[in-house]
């Protein structure tokens, strides 16, 4: 690890000032400390957010629910109001990482977690995300590591997180704070597909911090499910995941959200799958058709996993919407 | 009687309270910290190493590369050639790179943090050559044959045949305790704390490489946090650290990172198995043919030939086996729990299940029908063999009779349910010559000393029970000291035979002590015993004197000696996602006399847990284009978690086999794994109708094959 300056911010404005001066924010540290030790992240300055009380406030009863960026994954996953209003969000948290990690890790940090691509993580293989211009070792590596949507010649790394997938399906917004003030960004617009600049992973500007996540209530948020496909029963990233939200009236789907995880370079909303569902009865057949539409033209272990995840998430969401 | 009682491990409290000190826990005054730098290419030459940035960091004491080591170390032999080393090739002997992740430098600094930083700052440049790692990218014409034999001269014309290919992936041990070393010199004498399965092999290997007398080297490993074969042999970083400690005249401690553990030691090689079974339409096996290919390194020919085991599972009149290895640009592969049994048994026991399905015979009945009266390979009698009893009892405990044999016929709550079974065997190895010293002191404490190792299995506790019974003492009065090369001669902890071999020496020492006390000798009394297993040939005696490893195999003294087992598994498969869960396993084992049912059960449950992992998740991915393991941390290499292991029921027949050793003990360390893998994949077939012949089972395969 390289030496860096460490600042403990006492207020959000102090944190923003430090970040605007180039400091890297530290929340639970479960991603960042690993990257520091591997010298994948080499900041000259780190600002610790953990003493910023404003970032710890949360209110899941309000409309929209407002969740401070420093809320721990474990605390949010255990909140009964969240479970009632946003079951897919809670599932995405419960199925992520391990108990110990969820106790340390925060909501804001989770959204901005780094790639799990082995070429990125080993700290030395060619990787445009870590070392722009060095190439992409993953492209010719195991198919297991390849995203099938949103890739570019520069990068094929899947976005690994679970929470962001469920938040996009819930039409959540991200509230940020920067020297320029406060703004809201749709969760769906937070992450950037790699294009030619995979090192730019999200749209936040210099000095812009995630302050909170806002989740509006509603039928598609409530009748929602998150399904994660992986080879082991716990403590594993998804091979493919999906969050699906449905609004059903008179037995017909009238609104749908279908978002794929771990199969695209960013949380991937599939309007194709949504339009297959809208106006139809949700059956095993339409669920499968939606999955096929979401993954049309793709193949490989991640695509297959995501196909299963979409199908199952459709069926679970339907049962939550009262479809029998 | 202490033997047979479920004693808690003697070191349990020390371990859970952190009092037990593992190699990396030591911190002598003046200790320096080392880290490794490993190669980024798989094959080629180092063209330059720029260590100026690293050396310039405050606190860095040395950056050791092949420039420093040239001519400093003596040539040594790999274990496979009668020596003690993982590989004969010292990674710092020259600029040659033989595999990705090879050690290219050792950085030594005053703190661990500085050493870690400095390791990142070493700039190594290479000239890269073409490299191959995956078995699929090799040409069988270049293979090296490691076994070829046959029984019977003509394949009988069987009515039914199965002829399929099964493949297993590369895997790593990933013991919870990483590789680590602490080396310190006292004058011309070297002391090394290192997690090892073989303290005296380590001692001899270090002495040979460093050019010092064996008596000047002491190796300690009182606690080992799992070995699984990875810690069986001398690893080069151990020598490098000892060399650095001498050069810098200070104790040096090395931590190897989790990722580096995958390339500085051995691994379980990829393998492919073509199995051909022929049988009568009534389900009597006639022929067994098994062709195996596996990876080896370009420096060492490691053949983990397992057909000599699997050929003994069933009665067949015609056997033809051939095993070859393909040299690739890999670290030298080696032992990993059930090294010669896991892949071979997976292949055979899958093929037997396929045969049962084709014949429409129950797989348990098919196995029972082919129980051999004599060893089909040598025609010699077996020692104790209670496989049929394991199968029958297992079937009963599992509720096998309720199984509908048709695939996809059982389901519950939207999930497909499958039941599968497989048989297991593991050689009841004889080990070699073991010595033991036992001293009764004035306080009535009996100290048992032998240079064996407790890898966390409870070996020390089990040996105390044997000593207590033999000497007629209270087990609480016995203290067992293992894991130190100055102790009387012990063996590598491998081949599931520590209890049988070290236990036999301890047993004899206990009897001698009892006799001494009965003669009226009073404390302090010291006795020494020497256990020479039956079947030691002059050649093995010579090997023992040379200090080479001696391991008597299962065919000795006119008998064929194995442990047996039968595993039954239930799987639940989500038909939409293809995710496989294993809620239930029953394993019944004929592992000879059970000295301690608690520790034995833990070993068998551990083996079954490995089997579940091997079946549904464990593999080290390979990047074929770069000839490198890709993703060697625990985020990418999954092993089973609690959530993956449902209810595991283990029964032990507990029938002593006097043909094996005086205690009648056969060994429990590895057999739990052997049949579990095929039991799970056979259950997956029963649940889904999809036959998985490539491990591990992937969810996508189960849904896309529909
Ligand atoms: C072994 C392991 C398994 C895991 N498995 C899963 C899994 O299955 N599913 C899953 O979703 N995740 C998984 N994770 C990832 C884990 O959830 C994240 O590491 C965690 O959520 C990050 O949160 P943190 O608070 O620790 O963030 P940090 O490590 O502190 O920060 C992460 C990143 O976010 C930035 N950051 C943090 N907070 C803010 C803020 N408020 N504003 C702006 N930037 C900020 C940091 O600068 C840093 O770049 C796993 C992690 C590990 C180590």
What is the tens place of the pLDDT at every residue in A221-265?
999 999 999 999 999 999 999 999 999 999 999 999 999 999 999
**Ligand 1 proximity of A315 Cβ (cutoff 6 Å):** no
What is the tens place of the pLDDT at every residue in A81-128?
999 999 999 999 999 999 999 999 999 999 999 999 999 999 989 999
Could B120 and A39 be called an inter-chain contact, meaning their C-beta atoms sit closer than 8 Å? yes
Residue A128 covered by a domain: no
Owner of token pair 């008597």: B552
Under 8 Å CB-to-CB from B60, ≥6 apart: which residues?
B54, B107, B108, B109, B110, B114, B115, B118
Query: Is the model's pLDDT at B155 over the cut of 90?
Result: no
B258 to chain A, any CB pair closer than 8 A? The answer is no
Taking contacts as CB-CB distances below 8 angstroms, the residues of chain A near B37 are: none
Task: Tell me the DSSP string of A75-129.
Answer: HHHT-HHHHHH-HHHHHHHHTSS-HHHHHH-BHHHHHTPPP--HHHHTSSS-BTT
Residue A292 covered by a domain: yes
| pLDDT at residue B706, rounded to an integer | 47
Q: What are B576's two structure tokens?
A: 């939409």
Query: Is the model's pLDDT at B389 over the cut of 60?
Result: yes
**Ligand 1 proximity of A163 Cβ (cutoff 6 Å):** yes
Q: Work out which ligand 1 atom sits closest to the CA atom of A31.
A: 29
Could A145 and B630 be called an inter-chain contact, meaning their C-beta atoms sit closer than 8 Å? yes
Residue A203 covered by a domain: no
Look at chain A and report how many structural domains it folds into: 1
Q: Output the CA B414–ligand 1 centroid distance in Å.
A: 35
B699 to chain A, any CB pair closer than 8 A? The answer is yes
List the residue whose alpha carbon is closest to atom 53 of ligand 1: A30
Q: What is the mean pLDDT of chain B?
A: 96
Q: What is the pTM of this model?
A: 0.97
Nearest Cα of chain A lies from the Cα of B624 at a distance, in angstroms, of: 7
Could A230 and B579 be called an inter-chain contact, meaning their C-beta atoms sit closer than 8 Å? yes
- CA–CA separation, A232 vs B568, rounded Å? 20
Q: Of B132, B255, B91, B230, give the one whose Cα is nearest residue B172.
A: B230
Pairing of strands A5-8, A45-48: parallel
| pLDDT at residue A105, rounded to an integer | 98
Q: What are B419's two structure tokens?
A: 């039941």
Structural domain spans, chain B: 23-130+176-226+231-261, 271-428+557-704, 430-552
Q: How far is CA A56 from the centre of its chain?
A: 20
Q: Of B114, B92, B104, give the one whose Cα is nearest residue B34.
A: B114
Nearest CB to B577 within list A116, A234, A308: A308
Domain that holds residue A235: 219-320
Residue A307 covered by a domain: yes
- CA–CA separation, B428 vs B449, rounded Å? 24
- CA–CA separation, B397 vs B391, rounded Å? 10
DSSP for residue B232: S
pLDDT band at A324 (very low <50, low <70, confident <90, very high): confident
Query: Is the model's pLDDT at A308 over the cut of 90?
Result: yes
Q: For chain A, how big is the Rg over CA atoms in Å?
A: 19
Residue A309 covered by a domain: yes
Q: Output the CA A113–ligand 1 centroid distance in Å.
A: 4
The CATH class that applies to domain B23-130+176-226+231-261 reads alpha beta
Residue A249 covered by a domain: yes
Measured between CA atoms, the residue of chain A closest to residue B576 is A308
DSSP for residue B491: -
Phi, psi of A41 (to 5 degrees): -100, 130
Measured between CA atoms, the residue of chain A closest to residue B705 is A304
What is the tens place of the pLDDT at every residue in B570-619?
999 999 999 999 999 999 999 999 999 999 999 999 999 999 999 999 99
Do B23-130+176-226+231-261 and B271-428+557-704 share a fold? no
The CATH class that applies to domain B430-552 reads alpha beta
- CA–CA separation, B653 vs B646, rounded Å? 23
A316 to chain B, any CB pair closer than 8 A? The answer is no
Confirm if B182 and B31 have CB atoms less than 8 A apart.
yes
| ipTM for this model | 0.96
- CA–CA separation, A72 vs A104, rounded Å? 6
**Ligand 1 proximity of A112 Cβ (cutoff 6 Å):** yes
Query: Is the model's pLDDT at B705 over the cut of 70?
Result: no
Nearest CB to B576 within list A123, A144, A311: A311
| pLDDT at residue B158, rounded to an integer | 66
B556 SS3 class: strand
For residue A315, give the CATH number of its domain. Answer: 3.30.390.50
Q: Output the CA A121–ligand 1 centroid distance in Å.
A: 14
| pLDDT at residue B704, rounded to an integer | 66
Residue-level length of chain B: 706
Q: Of B592, B565, B577, B579, give the one whose Cα is nearest residue B655.
A: B592
pLDDT band at B153 (very low <50, low <70, confident <90, very high): confident
Pairing of strands B103-109, A173-178: unpaired
Phi, psi of A252 (to 5 degrees): -110, 145
Confirm if B177 and B225 have CB atoms less than 8 A apart.
yes
Owner of token pair 């551990």: B606
Q: What is the largest CA-CA distance in chain A?
A: 62
**Ligand 1 proximity of A105 Cβ (cutoff 6 Å):** yes
Burial B430-441 (b: 16+ CB within 10 A, else e): bbbbbbbbbbbe
Taking contacts as CB-CB distances below 8 angstroms, the residues of chain A near B630 are: 118-119, 141-142, 145
Confirm if B587 and B421 have CB atoms less than 8 A apart.
no
Q: Helix-strand-coil percent breakdown of chain A, rounded to 5?
A: 35, 20, 45
What is the tens place of the pLDDT at every residue in B511-541?
999 999 999 999 899 999 999 999 999 999 9
**Ligand 1 proximity of A94 Cβ (cutoff 6 Å):** no
Please confirm, yes or no, whether B670 is among the known catalytic residues: yes
Could A231 and B617 be called an inter-chain contact, meaning their C-beta atoms sit closer than 8 Å? yes
Residue A1 covered by a domain: no
Q: What is the mean pLDDT of chain A?
A: 97
What is the tens place of the pLDDT at every residue in B192-219?
999 999 999 999 999 999 999 999 999 9
The average pLDDT across B455-462 equals: 96
Taking contacts as CB-CB distances below 8 angstroms, the residues of chain A near B635 are: 116, 121, 237
DSSP for residue A78: T
Computed from CA positions of residues A36, A37, A42, A48, in that sequence, does the dihedral angle turn out positive or negative?
positive
Q: What are B230's two structure tokens?
A: 């990875």
- CA–CA separation, A266 vs A20, rounded Å? 25
Q: Of B686, B677, B660, B615, give the one whose Cα is nearest residue B384.
A: B660
The CATH class that applies to domain B271-428+557-704 reads alpha beta
What is the tens place of the pLDDT at every residue in B77-96?
999 999 999 999 999 999 99
Q: What are A74's two structure tokens?
A: 């474990």
List the residue whose alpha carbon is closest to atom 2 of ligand 1: A97
| pLDDT at residue B703, rounded to an integer | 87
**Ligand 1 proximity of A46 Cβ (cutoff 6 Å):** no
What is the tens place of the pLDDT at every residue in A246-258?
999 999 999 999 9
Q: Of B473, B548, B497, give the one whose Cα is nearest residue B667.
A: B497
List the residue whose alpha carbon is closest to atom 9 of ligand 1: A96
Query: Is the model's pLDDT at A169 over the cut of 90?
Result: yes
**Ligand 1 proximity of A308 Cβ (cutoff 6 Å):** no
């Amino acid at each position: 690890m390289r030496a860096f300056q460490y600042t403990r911010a006492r207020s959000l404005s102090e944190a923003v000032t430090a970040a605007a001066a180039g400091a890297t924010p530290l929340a639970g540290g479960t991603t960042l400390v690993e990257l520091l030790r591997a010298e994948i992240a080499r900041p000259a300055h780190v600002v610790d957010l953990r003493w910023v009380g404003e970032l710890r406030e949360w209110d899941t009863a309000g409309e929209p629910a407002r969740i401070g960026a420093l809320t721990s994954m474990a605390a949010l996953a255990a909140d009964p109001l969240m479970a009632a209003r946003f079951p897919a969000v809670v599932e995405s948290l419960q199925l992520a990482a391990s108990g110990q990690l969820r106790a340390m890790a925060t909501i804001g940090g989770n959204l901005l977690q780094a790639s799990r691509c082995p070429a990125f993580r080993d700290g030395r293989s060619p990787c445009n995300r870590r070392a722009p211009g060095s190439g992409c070792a993953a492209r010719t590596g195991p198919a297991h590591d390849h995203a099938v949507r949103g890739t570019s010649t520069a990068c094929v790394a899947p976005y690994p997180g679970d929470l962001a997938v469920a938040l996009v399906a819930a039409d959540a917004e991200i509230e940020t704070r920067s020297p320029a003030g406060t703004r809201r960004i749709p969760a769906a617009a937070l992450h950037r597909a790699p294009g030619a600049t995979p090192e730019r992973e999200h749209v936040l500007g210099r000095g812009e911090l995630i302050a909170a996540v806002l989740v509006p209530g509603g039928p598609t948020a409530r009748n929602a499910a998150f399904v994660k496909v992986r080879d082991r029963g716990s403590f594993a990233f998804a091979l493919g995941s999906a969050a699906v939200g449905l609004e059903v009236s008179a037995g017909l789907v009238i609104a749908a959200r279908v978002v794929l995880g771990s199969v695209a370079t960013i949380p991937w909303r599939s309007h194709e799958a949504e339009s297959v569902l809208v106006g139809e009865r949700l059956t095993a057949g339409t669920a499968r058709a939606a999955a096929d539409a979401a993954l049309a033209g793709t193949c490989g272990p991640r695509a297959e996993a995501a196909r299963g995840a979409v199908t199952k998430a459709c069926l679970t969401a339907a049962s939550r919407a009262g479809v029998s | 009687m202490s033997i047979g009682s479920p004693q808690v491990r003697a070191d349990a409290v020390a371990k859970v309270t952190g009092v037990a000190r593992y190699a990396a826990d030591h911190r002598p005054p003046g200790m320096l910290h080392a880290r490794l730098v490993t190669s980024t290419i798989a094959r080629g030459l180092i063209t330059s190493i720029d260590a100026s940035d690293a050396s310039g960091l405050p606190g860095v004491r040395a950056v050791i590369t092949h420039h420093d080591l040239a001519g400093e170390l003596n040539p040594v032999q790999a274990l496979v050639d009668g020596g003690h080393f993982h590989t004969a090739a010292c990674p710092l002997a020259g600029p040659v790179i033989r595999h990705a992740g090879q050690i290219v430098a050792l950085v030594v600094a005053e703190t661990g943090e500085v050493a870690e930083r400095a390791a990142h700052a070493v700039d190594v440049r290479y000239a890269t050559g073409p490299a191959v790692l995956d078995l699929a990218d090799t040409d069988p014409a270049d293979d090296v044959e490691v076994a070829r034999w046959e029984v019977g001269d003509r394949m009988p014309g069987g009515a039914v045949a199965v002829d399929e290919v099964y493949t297993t992936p590369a895997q790593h041990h990933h013991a919870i305790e990483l590789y680590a070393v602490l080396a310190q010199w006292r004058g011309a004498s070297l002391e090394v704390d290192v997690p090892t399965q073989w303290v005296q092999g380590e001692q001899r290997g270090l002495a040979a490489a460093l050019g010092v007398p064996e008596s000047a080297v002491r190796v300690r490993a009182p606690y080992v946090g799992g070995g699984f074969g990875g810690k069986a042999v001398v690893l080069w970083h151990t020598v490098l650290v000892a060399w650095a400690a001498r050069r810098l005249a200070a104790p040096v401690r090395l931590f190897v990172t989790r990722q580096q553990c995958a390339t500085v030691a051995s691994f379980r090689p990829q393998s492919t198995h073509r199995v051909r079974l022929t049988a009568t339409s009534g389900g009597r096996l006639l022929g067994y043919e098994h062709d195996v290919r596996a990876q080896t390194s370009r420096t060492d020919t490691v053949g983990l030939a397992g057909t000599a085991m699997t050929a003994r599972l069933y009665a067949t009149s015609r056997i033809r086996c051939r095993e070859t290895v393909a040299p690739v640009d890999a670290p030298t592969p080696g032992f990993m729990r059930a090294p010669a049994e896991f892949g071979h048994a997976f292949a055979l026991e899958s093929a037997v299940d396929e045969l049962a399905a084709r014949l429409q015979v129950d797989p348990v009945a098919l196995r029972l029908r082919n129980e051999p009266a004599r060893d089909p390979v040598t025609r010699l009698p077996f020692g104790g063999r209670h496989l049929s009893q394991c199968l029958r009892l297992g079937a009963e405990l599992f509720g096998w009779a309720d199984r509908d044999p048709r695939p996809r016929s059982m389901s519950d709550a939207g999930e497909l349910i499958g039941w599968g079974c497989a048989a297991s065997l593991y050689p009841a190895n004889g080990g070699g010559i073991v010595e033991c010293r036992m001293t009764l002191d004035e306080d009535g404490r009996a100290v048992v000393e032998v240079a064996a190792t407790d890898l966390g299995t409870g070996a020390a506790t089990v040996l105390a029970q044997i000593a207590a019974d033999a000497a007629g003492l209270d087990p609480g009065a016995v203290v067992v000291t293992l894991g130190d090369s100055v102790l009387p001669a012990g063996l590598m902890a491998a081949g599931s035979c520590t209890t049988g071999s070290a236990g036999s020496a301890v047993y004899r020492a206990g009897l001698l002590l009892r006799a001494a006390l009965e003669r009226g000798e009073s404390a302090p009394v010291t006795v020494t015993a020497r256990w020479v297993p039956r079947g030691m040939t002059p050649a093995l005696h010579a090997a023992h004197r040379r200090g080479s490893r001696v391991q008597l195999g299962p065919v000795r003294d006119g008998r064929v000696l194995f442990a047996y087992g039968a595993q039954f598994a239930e799987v639940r498969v989500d038909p939409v996602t293809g995710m496989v869960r294993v809620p239930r396993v029953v394993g019944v084992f004929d592992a000879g006399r059970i000295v301690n049912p608690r520790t034995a059960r833990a070993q068998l449950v551990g083996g079954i847990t490995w089997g579940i992992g091997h079946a549904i998740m464990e593999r080290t991915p390979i990047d074929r284009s770069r000839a490198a393991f890709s993703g060697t941390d625990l985020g990418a290499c999954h092993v089973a978690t609690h959530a993956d292991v449902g209810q595991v029921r283990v029964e032990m027949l507990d029938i002593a086999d006097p043909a094996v050793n005086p205690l009648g003990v056969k060994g429990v360390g590895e057999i739990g794994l052997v049949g579990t893998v095929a039991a799970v994949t056979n259950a997956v077939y029963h649940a889904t109708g999809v036959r998985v012949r490539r491990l591990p089972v992937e969810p996508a395969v189960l849904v896309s094959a529909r």
